[in-house]
Copies of this chain bind each other. A is one copy, B any other.
Amino acid sequence: MRIGELAARAGTTTRTLRYYESRGLLPARRVGNGYRTYDEDDLRLLEQIRTLQDFGFDLEETRPFVECLRSGHLEGDACPASLAVYRRKLTELDALISDLNAVRAQVGAQLTRAEASLPGGPEPRCELTG
């Protein structure tokens, strides 16, 4: 299939595919007229990339998965390098979530404090006044 069809089937754009190729992630064969041509395996590689991208993986982080598939494995995460990326990502996610929870707590506390200091006195929340 050609680039437009692959892009449509993967729910992405031709620009994205050319970008991946420029990064060496998803090289394409060419037919006589210079057009790129892809097969079903390429679709699978692309789907792997897109899934990981949706998880927030950097493009470079998807490379081990792609190479794993290309080396004949049925799953992109059937190789140690992919597992290492998973583990590193989990660590990053845990740190990030932890940071965000801390920020959320701080902002929440600030809001509560600021509301309590409003002119007219603290507003009761969800409580009957009379």
Interface of A with B (CB < 8 Å)? 55-56, 75, 77-78, 82-83, 86-87, 89-90, 93-94, 96-97, 100-101, 103-104, 106-108, 110-111, 114-115, 117-118
Contacts and interface: CB of A to CB of B under 8 A. Distances in A.
Closest 6 CB pairs of A and B: A77-B114, A86-B111, A93-B104, A97-B100, A55-B103, A89-B107
A125 to B, nearest CB: 13
A82 B77 CA distance: 46
Contacts of A55: 103, 106-107
Number of copies: 2
Given A77-B114, A78-B117, A110-B77, A93 B86 contact: no
A106 to B, nearest CB: 7
Contacts of A96: 100
A90 B107 contact: yes
Nearest to A83: B114
Given A82-B114, A86-B111, A90-B111, 4 more contacts: A55-B106, A78-B117, A90-B108, A97-B104
